Amino acid sequence: MAKSSVMGYPRIGENREWKKALEAFWAGKLEETELHQQLQQIRLQHLSKQQEKGIDYIPVNDFSYYDQVLDTAAMFGIIPKRFNYNGGAVPLSVYFGVARGTKEAAASEMTKWFNTNYHYIVPELYGAEPVLTENRPLAAYREAKEKLGIEGKPVILGPFSFLKLSKGYGRSEVDTWLSILLKLYVQVLQELVAEGVQWVQIDEPALVTKLSNDDVARLHTLYGKLAEAVPQLNLLLQTYFGSLEQYKEIVKLPVQGIGLDFVHGLRGNLSAVREYGFPADKVLGAGIIDGRGIWKAPLGEKLALLRELQGLVSSDKLLVQTSCSLLHVPVTTKPESKLPPELKNALAFADEKLDELVLLTEALNNGEASVAEELALNKHALETLEQSDVRNRADVHTAVARIQTQEPARKSPFAARNAAQQHKWQLPLFPTTTIGSFPQSTEVRKARQSWRKGEWNNEQYSSFIQAQIDSWISYQEEIGLDVLVHGEFERTDMVEFFGEKLEGFAFTQNGWVQSYGSRCVKPPVIFGDVAFKEAMTVEETVYAQSKTNRPVKGMLTGPITIMNWSFVRDDIEREQIAYQLAYALRQEVEALENAGIGMIQVDEPAVREGLPLKEEEQAHYLDWAVKAFRMTTCTVQDTTQIHTHMCYCEFHDMIDSIEAMDADVISIETSRSHGELIHSFEVNTYKHGIGLGVYDIHSPRVPDVEEMTTMIDRALQVLDPKLFWINPDCGLKTRGKEETIASLRNMVEATKVAREKHTVNV
């Protein structure tokens, strides 16, 4: 009999109870004991739900107080020395300090989890001496069994992937570190065996990335020794986000099961199992339900795939799984009463995906006739949406096809534009600016809520927004910033705001997912053809510009970021969605320019996260991502300065594409990994304007002038001072007013120091 298995479940709760508990604790409104109690209640509710729905293998230890990679580091006592950790179980204050920073110590680097919008805390191995501080998977297993009678499947991040995701070691130290980690993993697994655990899911997502022959040899050594240490334990080696590299070698590893992604890795994994087969002595974890997308699975197609896989493995060795953890999708569609019926009926969030797993398992074991009604309803729901008018707009298709054939380019090369812009703006050396947003206070959020509920009319809300703009234009001038922003007080989210004003989007009431820490986002749903309706940002930007003689940037979110931070339709290629967005946003750029706004920032923080994990697919993605950005910005005059913002990325493998975007100025999130990014510029040149973030906005600490001056000096060793800008890492929406003003004052002071040092050299 086939079994159903879940790889991980969302931790945030149906109503973000997890987020609210964490933030209450951080604000001093909740004692630590109360926090543990509340989070345990949420955790048990999640387990109970999976139990009640009939999932056979329920994951435990997939729940976290912040991030699963940080959990693994804390379990092994891998805590940076600056946090004064003295051994033993990591105190909650230290755990959160590593993630969020403290007054005395900067937070650890945070970066993207493979090609998703989830962020993890990067472990720092520099000089660490790991020991097992507490067996977290064991504690989670015991809790599920004692409280709910669940024979859970402990989940743990594998040693190979953990090391790949860490920093603070050299290539020559890889084998040493794997040997150190191996001893710890053996200890964890032996304690699980002693407790009677049957199956352990070891996540090794790094196995879908490029592997060297040395890596394969290391994996055989690593898992060979684990098998020797715990021969009686069933290990499910779980991969996701793509197809296996080195398939023939990986399936030889001495584990009892291997999980493969048959959604995002369908082509590669299916080709491999067809050509090489699958070991008869291993369980196949078939990830056929999309753990990252929100659409109902075409169950008929999924059943056909499962039937094919049944020809390769016996039914008792087949697990029907999600393609990855359900961490990346909202919890349930139940609250979504305001969506168009044809859309809601085609959606499946985490709970609905559990139902799909159970249904498919039922069909495999008892025949399709046992679920014939459900299969028919599924097919009808998907066909209804596919045939709807919103997905078949001839005007959009025609316009996008026309501009797609043109090569988008600015009228003049950067050097000529830069000269024209400098003549127009007369900016000082090292211009200072921010990324766009300013603190969204409780007052701002309440005002927006009152307006949305109809308690405030449009005039009241507009007056309130203008008052916020007035205040922050004044603050920026007093602080001494050179290029200002209006603050984005009218925007809930940098993607949702634009989606609400474009056609082809829909918005959930409760479709939240975790981005990092307690930060949850509610991605829009691109379910139809995207089209421009009317100007979206002109009113507030023009108002802000009327209040100052300094330039105010217009602020837009770029097409690739809107796409990557939305749940997108899966019936057309993502490239076509990007071009539809680019065409709509181009019309907004032109509206801003026509209204007299001469600096326009088109943010693309999510370009990197959309980069395919497979090297052979990356060039094509970057080509059309660059083309979409240029489609958006190419029609403006030379004197109109186009800015963009990107979150941290490894510059060395994207610098050509980033330069090809041809933005006049790019700002980059770098403060948590400043040295690594600066090194990229030592081996690569960048000839456009650039601002490297000089302080981390994800942490509440206020950096001092010396700290930022050091960052500026380091950057100017490799970057052209004439093209260098100074700015924070990212937008300041989540920060408090006082800390924002204090940090920006220090940034401006650091800029003055830099100008005094470097003016004579320019």
* CB within 8 Å of 404: residues ≥ 6 apart: 579
Could you tell me if residue 28 is left (phi over 0), alpha (psi between -120 and 50 degrees) or otherwise beta?
left
Asked whether residue 17 is marked as a ligand-binding residue, the answer is yes
Asked whether residue 616 is marked as a ligand-binding residue, the answer is no
Indicate the pairing of strand 689-693 with strand 724-727.
parallel
User: What are the Cα distances from residue 583, in Å, to 310, 408, 658?
Assistant: 46, 11, 20
C-beta separation of 263 from 287 below 8 A: yes
Give the single-character DSSP code of 552.
B
List, as one string, the DSSP characters of 92-125.
Answer: HHHHHHHHH--SSSPPPPEEESTTSS-EEEPPB-
Instruction: Identify residue 104 by its one-letter amino acid code.
Output: E
Asked whether residue 179 is marked as a ligand-binding residue, the answer is no
**β-pair partners for 358:** none
User: What are the Cα distances from residue 264, in Å, to 68, 157, 258, 351?
Assistant: 22, 20, 16, 20
List, as one string, the DSSP characters of 255-320.
Answer: -SEEEEESSTTHHHHHHHHHHH---TTSEEEEEEE-SS--BPP-HHHHHHHHHHHHTTS-GGGEEE
What does the block give as tokens for 27? 């604000």
Asked whether residue 488 is marked as a ligand-binding residue, the answer is yes
The SS3 call for residue 166 is coil
Asked whether residue 290 is marked as a ligand-binding residue, the answer is no
Distance from C-alpha of 50 to C-alpha of 291, rounded to nearest angstrom = 15
Distance from C-alpha of 633 to C-alpha of 220, rounded to nearest angstrom = 50
Asked whether residue 436 is marked as a ligand-binding residue, the answer is yes
Instruction: Indicate if the alpha-carbon torsion angle 35, 37, 39, 41 is positive or negative.
Output: negative
Exposure of 394 by Cβ count < 10 A (0-12 exposed, 13-18 middle, 19+ buried)? exposed
Asked whether residue 730 is marked as a ligand-binding residue, the answer is yes
What does the block give as tokens for 208? 């879908």
Asked whether residue 353 is marked as a ligand-binding residue, the answer is no
What does the block give as tokens for 758? 């470097």
Distance from C-alpha of 638 to C-alpha of 416, rounded to nearest angstrom = 8
- Look at the block and give the residue holding tokens 């056929």: 288
Asked whether residue 456 is marked as a ligand-binding residue, the answer is no
Instruction: Identify residue 132 by its one-letter amino acid code.
Output: L
Asked whether residue 324 is marked as a ligand-binding residue, the answer is no
Four-point Cα dihedral 419, 420, 424, 428, nearest 10: -20
- Give me the phi and psi of 736, to 5 degrees please: -85, 160
Asked whether residue 603 is marked as a ligand-binding residue, the answer is yes
Asked whether residue 649 is marked as a ligand-binding residue, the answer is no
Asked whether residue 669 is marked as a ligand-binding residue, the answer is yes
Please state the three-class secondary structure of 408-433 as a single string.
Answer: CCCCCCHHHHHHHHHHHHCCCCCCEC
User: What are the Cα distances from residue 526, in Å, to 53, 396, 494, 531, 625?
Assistant: 29, 14, 15, 11, 18
C-beta separation of 195 from 142 below 8 A: yes
Asked whether residue 82 is marked as a ligand-binding residue, the answer is no
Asked whether residue 104 is marked as a ligand-binding residue, the answer is no
Asked whether residue 435 is marked as a ligand-binding residue, the answer is yes
Asked whether residue 645 is marked as a ligand-binding residue, the answer is yes
Active site residues per annotation:
698
In the annotated binding site for 5-methyltetrahydropteroyltri-L-glutamate, the residues are 16-19, 112, 117, 519-520, 565, 609
In the annotated binding site, the residues are 16-19, 112, 117, 435-437, 488, 519-520, 565, 603, 609, 645, 647, 669, 730
In the annotated binding site for Zn(2+), the residues are 645, 647, 669, 730
